[in-house]
Structures are given as C-alpha cells and as structure tokens.
C-alpha cells in the first residue's frame, strides 16, 4: 500500500511522475468543446511513449482512466499491445462499468475488483490519517459510499461538497417548480451531457441516491440514508409521496441513465424524466 506522503507518492498524486502516464477523457483545448471519448490519436501517442525506457524505475505505468470511453477504433488499436505488452510497461485500465468495455479488450486483461471500504475501516483511516472528527468521518463515509479517494478529495477540495450542496438545492428547486422550470433544468443537464458525460451522469446519480433515501424513509430504514444531513427535507418530501410513486420514479431514473448510455437524445431523455416527476413532489 502506498504511503501517500513520500516524494514518489506525492508526484504520482499530482500527475508529475515521469514513469506514470494517465489517459482519460477530459477537457478539450481552449476554445474547443470537452472531449468525451479517448480517441485513436491519444492511444497511438501512449503506445509510442510506452516503447520508451522508464526514466526512474524498472518499469513505467500507463493508466487508462475510463477505459469504457475508448472509441472502438482506439480500443482496437490497443489490442495487440495488450496481448503482448512491452516487458517494461504495465497497463491499468480503470472502469466503473466493465460490461461497457469491448469484449476483445476485456479478454486480454486480468480483472481486479476494488471493493468499497467498510464503515469502520474508512472512519478509522480518516480520523487517524486526516484528523477529522468521528462525525465528519461518518458523513464522508455515507457520501462517498466507501470510496476513500472521494472522501479525501472532499477534504482537500472544499468545492466538492459545495458543488454537491448546490446540485441538491437546484434539484429541490426543480422538484418544487412547474413544467417550464423543469424543462429548463432538463436542457441544462442535456447540455452538460454533451460536454461532460461523466458529470451529467454523476448528477443523475445524485438524484437516484436522493430518491433511494426517500424510499428508505418510507420503509423505516433511516439509519442507511446517504444524505443524512438532509434528513428533515427528505422526511418532508416523503410524507407527500406514496411508496409506489417513489419506486416508479426510481425506475424512471434508472431507465434514463440506461437510455443515455444507449445514445438516446439527452434532451429528449431528460424531458421525459421531468414529465414523469410525481406531481406531489412539486407541492413539497
């Protein structure tokens, strides 16, 4: 396990290590739209550099963060190297959705599943290593769902939690509003999806966890709330909805996420979702 504090760990975390190369879909050049896929040109450049000798150690590491984002052309260009990688290079393909990675790519990789930390493990790490209070550690565990990296990012960058709060407030405004405001929100999310697919899906995942919390309240399981810091708002909204309405909208959210993965029009998918918001939610 890395120490997280030595010079090597620090440089890797900052993206400055000469032998660690990270490739991920990200922002485009200034004045251009963000890239949502890993294209063949990026893969060709990584393969060219992979044949160079390591600068500092015995091997170099290539990390493809978001392997499911590779275009088919890019993935196919990578196949031969995955099958017979240079001896001095290790390739790590990261994905939150293994089934979205081409079968031909998956068949050439060994699978290593990273599971979330338990509540006790994460709270102990955060209290001991980051000197947070037990209450803060518990909240971070709930919000991160056991992902230590997310919890540390939230501690290091206050904008992470501030953005979550802003997104929740915007969601609540949409729930309380009429169709015109809901359609405006739908268009905003659709536009975000066109420029930053992961951010848009993360926003819908926030909705999904909120509605999961509503269902937990209806079923008397508040101890498992994700958004425990908004328990009062959740109770108020849950009181105006039936369990059937909540379950139905959760299914709509999951279908919307599936439709977006299937390249359905983002605007159409979001407008249909807004049309299917339970009427009672707007009366909270």
DSSP state of 241: S
Say if residue 284's pLDDT is above 60. no
Task: Name every residue whose Cβ is closer than 8 Å to that of residue 264 and which is 6 or more positions away in sequence.
Answer: none
71-104 pLDDT tens trace: 899 999 999 999 998 888 999 999 888 888 999 9
Using CA atoms, how far apart are residues 12 and 19, in angstroms rounded to an integer? 9
Dihedral over alpha carbons 175, 141, 27, 71 (to 10 degrees): -100
Using CA atoms, how far apart are residues 235 and 151, in angstroms rounded to an integer? 26
Q: What is the CATH number of domain 158-283?
A: 1.20.272
CB atoms < 10 A from the CB of 172, how many? 16
Write down the pLDDT at residue 19. Answer: 85
Segments making up each domain of the chain, as ranges? 7-106, 117-156, 158-283
141-191 pLDDT tens trace: 999 989 988 899 899 888 999 999 999 999 999 998 889 999 999 999 999
In contact, 148 and 129? CB cutoff 8 Å: no
User: pLDDT band for position 51 (50/70/90)?
Assistant: confident
Write down the pLDDT at residue 36. Answer: 66
Q: What is the CATH number of domain 7-106?
A: 3.40.50.300
Say if residue 35's pLDDT is above 60. no
pTM (two decimals): 0.71
In contact, 43 and 77? CB cutoff 8 Å: yes
Mean per-residue pLDDT, 12-40: 68
Same fold, 7-106 and 158-283: no
SS3 111: coil
Mean per-residue pLDDT, 124-145: 92
Using CA atoms, how far apart are residues 80 and 100, in angstroms rounded to an integer? 20
Say if residue 281's pLDDT is above 50. no
Write down the pLDDT at residue 37. Answer: 80
Using CA atoms, how far apart are residues 231 and 87, in angstroms rounded to an integer? 53
Q: What is the mean pLDDT of the chain?
A: 87
User: Which carries the bigger pLDDT value, residue 211 or residue 52?
Assistant: 211
Distances (CA, A) of 121 to 3, 115, 161: 17, 12, 22
Using CA atoms, how far apart are residues 136 and 199, in angstroms rounded to an integer? 25
């Amino acid at each position: 396990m890395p120490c997280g504090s030595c010079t090597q760990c620090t440089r890797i975390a900052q993206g400055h290590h000469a032998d660690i190369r990270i490739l991920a879909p990200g922002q485009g050049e200034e004045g251009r739209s963000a890239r949502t896929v890993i294209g063949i040109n990026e893969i060709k450049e990584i393969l060219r550099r992979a044949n160079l000798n390591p600068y500092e150690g015995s091997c170099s590491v290539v990390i493809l963060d978001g392997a499911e984002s590779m275009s088919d052309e890019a993935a196919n260009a990578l196949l031969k190297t995955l099958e017979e990688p240079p001896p001095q290079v290790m390739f790590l393909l990261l994905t939150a959705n293994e089934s979205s990675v081409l079968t031909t790519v998956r068949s050439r990789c060994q699978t290593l599943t990273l599971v979330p930390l338990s509540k006790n493990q994460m709270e102990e790490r955060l209290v001991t290593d980051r000197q947070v209070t037990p209450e803060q550690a518990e909240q971070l565990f709930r919000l991160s769902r056991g992902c230590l990296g997310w919890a540390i990012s939230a501690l290091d960058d206050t904008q992470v939690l501030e953005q979550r709060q802003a997104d929740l407030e915007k969601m609540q405004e949409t729930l309380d509003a009429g169709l015109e405001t809901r359609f405006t929100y739908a268009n905003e999310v659709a536009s975000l999806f066109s420029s930053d697919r992961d951010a848009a899906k993360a926003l819908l995942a926030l909705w999904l966890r909120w509605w999961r919390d509503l269902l937990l309240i209806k079923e008397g399981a508040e101890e498992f709330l994700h958004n425990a810091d908004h328990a009062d708002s959740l109770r108020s909204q849950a009181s105006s909805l039936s369990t059937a309405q909540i379950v139905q909208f959760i299914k709509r959210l999951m279908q919307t996420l599936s439709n977006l993965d299937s390249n359905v029009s983002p605007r159409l998918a979001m407008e249909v979702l807004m049309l299917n918001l339970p009427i009672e939610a707007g009366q909270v």
